[in-house]
Structure 1
Amino acid sequence: MNQAILWHPPASRPPTVEHRKTLNITLWLVAIGLFMQTLDTTIVNTALPAMAASLGESPLRMQSVVISYALTMAVLIPASGWVADRFGTRKVYFSAIVLFTLGSVLCAVSQNLSQLVASRVVQGAGGAMLMPVGRLVILRSFPQERLLPALSFVAIPAMVGPMIGPVLGGWLSEQFSWHWVFLINIPVGLAGAIATRTFMIDKREKQPASFDGVGYGLLAFGMAAISLSLDGFSGRATGHATVVLMLVFGLISIVTYWLRAGRQAAPLFSPTLFHIHTFTIGLLGNLFARLGSSGMPFLLPLLLQVSLGYSPTHSGLMMLPVAAAGMLSKRLATSLITRYGYRHVLVVNTVLVGLTIVSFSLVDVSHPVWTQVLLMAFFGAVNSLQFTAMNTLTLKDLGQQGASSGNSILSMMQMLAISLSVTVAGGILAAFSHLVDHGAPEDALAAFHATFICIGLLTAASAWIFWQLSPDVPRESKKDDSLDLG
């Protein structure tokens, strides 16, 4: 049996008033948990310069704060379904909120960058369980006729969190201090933990499937080693020989997992999923297209504050057009795919995303703000369309048997892509900063411009992956937006 989340909608029966109340509270708890988790993927970005100043670090070398959170989530997501089956959804969700809140406290009291990175790992460990376990609670608790509205409801905070995160992070760090970026999680986390313990529906498997611990260890080590080795190339204290060895062992670990999984009766993720052409192309496209675009939420606030002189609040407000245009453009995805097909939409749009990223290399202090707003909005629109089309392509042909496992792989790959993207963007920025840094603001701006060109071209080149799709790939999209993972 595959170890990803398996679910069967409960039989439809008239709920009692008490049961309906419990369902509604559970729905709100999951929505709040998703909001906390998605908020913390973006709220930190606009506060990074303030953190750097407080901790005595360069703002251009703060990527490890973002990488540690995303990488921890990528590593732990594959185990979330089995953990929930083994210990029960209520206990695991409660523990996730407590761990996330504890991580927030540790982040707020960190005295140096190493402590902050370690605390973000703790926070990411809690966040890794919030999203998949919360979704699992809904899938196993709500009757079929209420399932779609329930999923649509919890999708709203998952979209709102990343939109207000940059503004809130900038405002808190400017008006108070960067510590409040993490301290605001404490009251919400405490209230959520108490409510979860009291009200949340508890679901668990009487006989949970066996867990492929060896396979999980190989996959987790491989992802962590590859990401950390790439970060090591950006000029950390780790010697290059150690970094190369880490990269080699990471690749060996991934290959070993793949070869071993094909011989296992119950692997962590079945290799047969990759026999589905659209799934394989969608997953590879998700990884490589995001290598460039997922680094932009990290780069843009730094560009605005470090090189253009914006305040933290102003830089956060400048990110609003990205999120707003992204939400609006999602509505165009279905009609465009239906009319032109996945291949044409993804090839053209991937190139557009890449060229838009490259165009940020033209931004400087002489350009009026409205041109920057338009560029931000256009990037948000094409990037959101890209994510929606890629996610739909990846999951569309899996069927009921493979949907759960495929969704888990996609969630893991998305968080891994964020980690790798920030690693690559931060490494390129650090390299160019070292080459041109003479202490003047225009030197930092030149480093940003060169970085945008590099990651933009990398994104555009990934269009080749989507070119491998057959032109006759079915165009209809039956996937609901509520299931879109962003």
Structure 2
Amino acid sequence: MAIPRTFLVPLIVACALFMEQMDSTVISTSLPALALDMAVDPISLKLALTSYLVSLAVFIPISGWMADRFGSRTIFRSAICVFMLGSILCGVSSTLPQFVAARFFQGIGGAMMVPVGRLVILRSVEKVNLVKALSYLTIPALFGPVLGPPLGGFITTYFHWRWIFFINIPISILGLYLATRFIPDLKAEQVSPLDWPGFVLSALGCSLLMMGLSTAGRHLVSGEVSLACVVLGVLFLAAYVWHARRAAAPLIDLTLLKIPTLQAGVFGGSLYRIGIGAIPFLLPLMLQLGFGYTPFHSGLLTCATAAGAMFMKTIASRFLERYGFRTVLVVNGSLGILSLWAIALFTPQTPYIVMMLVLLIGGCFRSLQFTSLNAISYADVDNPRLSQATSMASVAQQLSIGMGVVLAGFALQASNELQGHATLVASDFWPAFLVVGAVASLSILMLRRLSPNAGAEMSGRVKTKSA
């Protein structure tokens, strides 16, 4: 009996998404073990997290163009190969520079894999079955972050952190076989020229800026090199803004930011993600280096956040229909920030169950906030510019999460030095959580400026009122 394409194609793409999602969360639990093996300060490993996120931000905007130009199956298979090779390079890395370079290379595959896979579904599944097909795609996005931390902790505790990356090899080989057999090689009839100057400027700007900020103060490179990277990164990004205003078809159309709802989603969402993006970096370090937990027990606790997020996904639409976007974003966002600050109150004596409940409830708040931010961003964007808006939002998301890791690293380093500790201890972490929470709270000021009726049609409130 033949498996219907409505189910089969999304399942293949979902496997790739599961691998990418799990890999991005599984590494967080293993940071202390990585630092020990590579003989570096654990805070220095923020560069390993940010390099992957920057790679996503750089290459996501061109993934759709490459699929149109060279064929969806060709790019999807190439992305899996790049991701697998990047995973192998991560697994055999013995120094921090090698690991950072491997993570950046792995991110190129991740950036191409998921957007191109989603494009394959949109173009190969009949419209009448599209909603069902896309719903299959969300399942791994929910389970990846839940399984990632405990799996990474289990492998690190009872085997070796390198196996975290080697397990991607059989999954990738299976994905290559299935993609070759079942995914159509679709191309666009007409492909507009790629904005190569814009791509180069944005790629250099994002990469240099984040590298400069991530290496500052940790003696990985000299202070002069870090400062030069930051300055050059800012100059390249400024040059991109100048270029985008004059280009006929810029890589990322900045004029979209004139749309109030997209502006709130991008800027307000970025500020919020800076705070939340710090959790996967700070929490495992605090639990393992500060509280003495094993990577496995740390991972079990960390996955409570993802479990709460998965539960909230099932009822998020009810909150939006009942209260509207503005109320949900302001009230729920504030509760999410309070739950972030609550983590700062954890001590080695805090009961395990209390920490799990705080993380579980916090995961619910953060999931509802991200769902609302993602939706409101596209509430007033017309179809022809939807692809551009998606690229802009995706880039902003990855960079803001990376910036959260950078900010958390600075705050943790400052707390450690001001308290005069030779190594990281439990009391070094609470100031860092307060700092990233304070930055996230700035998002509420921006989200309050939304109209009370913003996104009313998308939330279903217009229909409710007319009824």
Q: TM-score range by the shorter chain?
A: over 0.9
Distance 2:252 2:240 in 1: 10
Q: Which residue of 2 aligns with 1:142?
A: 125
Q: Post-superposition shift, 1:424?
A: 1.3
Does residue 1:449 correspond to 2:430, yes or no? yes
Distance 2:86 2:420 in 1: 35
Distance 2:71 2:455 in 1: 39
Distance 2:343 2:95 in 1: 32
Aligned letter for 2:146?
Answer: M
Helix, strand or coil: the match of 2:181? helix
Does residue 1:387 correspond to 2:370, yes or no? yes
Aligned letter for 1:224?
Answer: S
Does residue 1:164 correspond to 2:147, yes or no? yes
Give the direction of change, closer, same or farther, for the CA distance of 1:391–1:377 in structure 2 (3 Å limit).
same
Does residue 1:468 correspond to 2:449, yes or no? yes
Deviations 1:301-356 (CA, angstroms, capped at 9, x unpaired): 11111111111111111022211111222344323333333222212222222222
Q: Which residue of 2 aligns with 1:477?
A: 458
Does residue 1:113 correspond to 2:96, yes or no? yes
Deviations 1:362-415 (CA, angstroms, capped at 9, x unpaired): 110122112111111121111111101111111111131222221122122211
Give the direction of change, closer, same or farther, for the CA distance of 1:267–1:457 in structure 2 (3 Å limit).
same
**Of residues 350, 366, 381 in structure 2, which corresponds to 1:367?**
350
Question: What TM-score do you get using the length of structure 2 for normalisation?
Answer: 0.94
Does residue 1:192 correspond to 2:191, yes or no? no
Pairs within 5 Å for 1:21-36? 21=4, 24-36=7-19
Q: Which residue of 1 aligns with 2:403?
A: 420
Pairs within 5 Å for 1:203-222? 203-222=186-205
CA contact 2:380–2:455 (8 Å) conserved in 1: no
Helix, strand or coil: the match of 2:274? helix
CA contact 2:63–2:112 (8 Å) conserved in 1: yes
Q: Which residue of 1 aligns with 2:228?
A: 245
Q: Post-superposition shift, 1:359?
A: 1.8
Give the direction of change, closer, same or farther, for the CA distance of 1:187–1:24 in structure 2 (3 Å limit).
same
Does residue 1:202 correspond to 2:185, yes or no? yes
Q: Post-superposition shift, 1:357?
A: 1.6
Aligned letter for 1:42?
Answer: T
Comparing 110-119 with 324-333, greater Cα deviation is found at: 324-333
**Of residues 253, 256, 266 in structure 2, which corresponds to 1:273?**
256
Distance 2:277 2:76 in 1: 27
Q: Post-superposition shift, 1:22?
A: 5.3
Distance 1:383 1:27 in 2: 26
Helix, strand or coil: the match of 1:274? helix
Give the direction of change, closer, same or farther, for the CA distance of 1:355–1:408 in structure 2 (3 Å limit).
same
Pairs within 5 Å for 1:114-133? 114-133=97-116
Helix, strand or coil: the match of 2:194? coil
Q: Post-superposition shift, 1:246?
A: 2.7
Distance 2:455 2:119 in 1: 29
Distance 1:234 1:31 in 2: 40
Helix, strand or coil: the match of 1:462? helix
Distance 1:236 1:220 in 2: 25
Does residue 1:79 correspond to 2:70, yes or no? no
Aligned letter for 2:119?
Answer: L
Q: Which residue of 2 aligns with 1:260?
A: 243
Comparing 451-460 with 200-209, greater Cα deviation is found at: 200-209
**Of residues 417, 431, 434 in structure 1, which corresponds to 2:414?**
431
Deviations 1:418-459 (CA, angstroms, capped at 9, x unpaired): 21111111222122223334347xx62121111011111111
Helix, strand or coil: the match of 1:362? coil
Distance 2:182 2:314 in 1: 35
Distance 2:234 2:456 in 1: 35
Aligned letter for 1:355?
Answer: L
Aligned letter for 2:324?
Answer: G
CA contact 2:201–2:240 (8 Å) conserved in 1: yes
Does residue 1:46 correspond to 2:29, yes or no? yes
CA contact 2:47–2:215 (8 Å) conserved in 1: no
Aligned letter for 1:475?
Answer: A
CA contact 1:353–1:459 (8 Å) conserved in 2: no
Give the direction of change, closer, same or farther, for the CA distance of 1:236–1:346 in structure 2 (3 Å limit).
farther
Helix, strand or coil: the match of 1:80? helix
Does residue 1:173 correspond to 2:156, yes or no? yes
CA contact 2:287–2:298 (8 Å) conserved in 1: yes
Q: Post-superposition shift, 1:24?
A: 4.1
**Of residues 356, 359, 363 in structure 1, which corresponds to 2:339?**
356
Q: Post-superposition shift, 1:108?
A: 0.9
Comparing 236-245 with 210-219, greater Cα deviation is found at: 236-245
Q: Which residue of 1 aligns with 2:465?
A: none
Distance 1:257 1:189 in 2: 35
Helix, strand or coil: the match of 1:266? coil
CA contact 1:338–1:476 (8 Å) conserved in 2: no
Unpaired runs of 5+ residues, structure 2, are 461-467
CA contact 1:25–1:200 (8 Å) conserved in 2: no
CA contact 2:91–2:165 (8 Å) conserved in 1: yes
Q: Which residue of 2 aligns with 1:483?
A: none
Comparing 204-213 with 231-240, greater Cα deviation is found at: 231-240
Helix, strand or coil: the match of 1:41? helix
Question: What TM-score do you get using the length of structure 1 for normalisation?
Answer: 0.90
**Of residues 388, 404, 408 in structure 1, which corresponds to 2:391?**
408
Helix, strand or coil: the match of 2:197? helix
Deviations 1:184-232 (CA, angstroms, capped at 9, x unpaired): 1011111211222233211112331110000111122222222122213
Distance 1:366 1:434 in 2: 24
Helix, strand or coil: the match of 2:367? helix
Helix, strand or coil: the match of 2:247? coil
CA contact 1:351–1:459 (8 Å) conserved in 2: no
CA contact 2:59–2:108 (8 Å) conserved in 1: yes
Helix, strand or coil: the match of 1:62? helix
Distance 2:247 2:372 in 1: 32
Aligned letter for 1:447?
Answer: D
CA contact 1:352–1:460 (8 Å) conserved in 2: no
Aligned letter for 1:348?
Answer: V
Q: What is the root-mean-square deviation in Å for CA atoms of aligned residues?
A: 1.9
Q: How many residues align?
A: 460
Q: Which residue of 2 aligns with 1:11?
A: none
Distance 2:373 2:75 in 1: 30
Comparing 280-289 with 191-200, greater Cα deviation is found at: 191-200
